[in-house]
Chain A
Amino acid sequence: MKLPHPLLGLRPVSEFIYLGDASLIQRPAGQDPSQLGDDATIDAFHDYVYLRDNPAGVHRELWFHEQGDRSWLVVTRNTVTHEITGCELARDVATAHHHARERQ
């Protein structure tokens, strides 16, 4: 398996470390001290830290290029066939999430 790094081209998977589902970028808010300890806040963090969609099929996931340029990537990969159909810098994905949240 090779990952199509957006800056460095095809790189072997052994250079990378896997973290998990790309939704881990979207950490819930809840830093407001008045909400700490609320069931809703705890539920949101529990779901964020522990629960996964774990799909059989297309999966967006975080990889870290440890033996390379040390960038975080969001890779779109099929978990049944291992086919890779997308690879973006996680920074760009996170920035897009941030802008989308600000527009709301």
Chain B
Amino acid sequence: MRYNVWQVLKQGLTGHKGWQPAFRNPEPKPAYDIVIVGGGGHGLATAWYLASVHGITNVAVLEKGWLGSGNIGRNTTIIRSNYLLPDNEPFYELSLKLWEGLEQDINYNAMVSQRGILNLAHSDAQVDAFARRGNAMHLAGAGGTLLDTAGVRKLCPFVNVDSARFPIKGGLWQARAGTVRHDAVAWGFARAADTRGIDVIQNCEVTGIRRHPNVSGSPVTGVDTSRGFIAAAKVAVCVAGNSGRVMAMAGRRLPIESHVLQAFVSEGLKPTIPGVVTYGAGHFYISQSDKGGLVYGGDIDGYNSYAQRGNLPLVEDVAEGGMSLMPMIGRAKLLRSWGGLMDMSMDGSPFIDKTDIPGLYFNGGWCYGGFKATPGSGFCYAHLLATDTPHEFATGYRLDRFRSGHPIDERGAGAQPNLH
């Protein structure tokens, strides 16, 4: 069933009795051409682009929980393409362009809202750095505007521009950035892939990766799951915070640590925040959801964790950042907080690559920035799976880049994942 205004009118006049489930709930088949491990945003996007761009539909997406139970339903919904380095910026701009056409592409309302992002600068040196980053964005066609203090004040009259410790000297504004209804992205990609015949299989946890013992290179033959063995010529791992666990099944260590990042939402308020605001000095960022809640967060907790919950000192730290940036936030009640697992890489940048094991592919290391990359990551991963060559905008995201001396370190923090 295609979703359109006539369907809404027709269903409205007939008591909404004709709506069907958005996607099937299939039993796993014994074998597929490609098995995607992980039914998060990136895995489902990969499935959709395999079908829609490459015509490959004998594909299963295996999800250990339910769709939207992982980071695709836990992030703070921000999309943007305001990176500096040439290995990153064209990729994220590709992803933002895909967001712009996504709802027409998958026939699903993901509530893509280009309300803009403002990164605040607190010193003259940081203003210079933002000018440089803005230039890099323009080179990739991403746009971007450098604002002075007056420009920031006009856009966000509520921020504490004259803070004694972190005065606001300006900001980098990307108008095309924004927010997206995050779990609608999972449902929309799942439905779109399902209509092309791809099996999206929930409650199916991968417990092992099987390899052929007698063939040279020992290629993968499939995966053991909680619902039995599933054979596949290609196994595409795409499991974010659980990357270390799943790749350990194939005996591989990764340049990744799993950390926990917390997020927060306030009670619903009238419209007050125009877009997304990030406050680097205070490790704080904020936007306002369509329901009116202030959605905000800060740093990762900073230690290895698979707990999907954080600790109180970070809650206090984030609250302090919010009070420092916009004292009015102290009047709002915090409604909920939660945590998600971040696959923090050694340079803060992701991987979309083949492994040394024939037929085993890896996508991960997105740190706390994976949501904005969802369509771009799926697009490039599908390209890699279909053609066995990296997409032109993802050539830097190699697993051996540390060994070969080509890290992509936006922050310049080195091999210390909790600093990225």
Contact = CB atoms under 8 A, between A and B. Distances in A.
A61 B418 CA distance: 13
B403 interface: yes
A21 to B, nearest CB: 8
Q: How large is the interface on A (under 10, 10 to 19, 20 to 34, 35 or more residues)?
A: 20 to 34
A53 interface: yes
Contact of B303 (A12, A18, A80): A18
B305 A54 contact: no
Given A79-B258, A79-B307, A12 B244 contact: no
A61 B258 CA distance: 13
A97 B305 CA distance: 26
B26 to A, nearest CB: 29
A26 B250 CA distance: 25
A80 B244 contact: no
A82 interface: yes
Nearest to B418: A18
B280 interface: no
A101 B418 CA distance: 30
B307 A61 contact: no
Given A20-B416, A50-B346, A80 B307 contact: yes
Contact of A14 (B256, B313, B416): B313
Interface residues of B, number: 26
Contacts of A61: 303-304
Interface in B394-420: 402-403, 415-418
A51 B416 CA distance: 11
Interface string A61-103: 1000000000000000101111000000000000000000000
Contacts of B307: 79-82
A56 B403 contact: no
Given A18-B418, A61-B303, A79-B304, A54 B403 contact: no
A59 interface: yes
Contact of A52 (B244, B306, B311, B403): B244
A51 B255 contact: yes
A55 interface: yes
Given A1-B311, A55-B244, A50 B415 contact: yes
Contacts of B416: 19-20
A84 B303 CA distance: 13
B258 A54 contact: yes
Contacts of A42: 403
B302 interface: yes
A52 B418 contact: no
Interface of A: 1, 12-14, 18-21, 42-43, 46-47, 49-56, 59, 61, 77, 79-82
Interface of B: 242-245, 248, 253-258, 302-307, 311, 313, 346, 402-403, 415-418
6 contacts: A20-B257, A20-B418, A52-B244, A52-B255, A54-B245, A55-B244
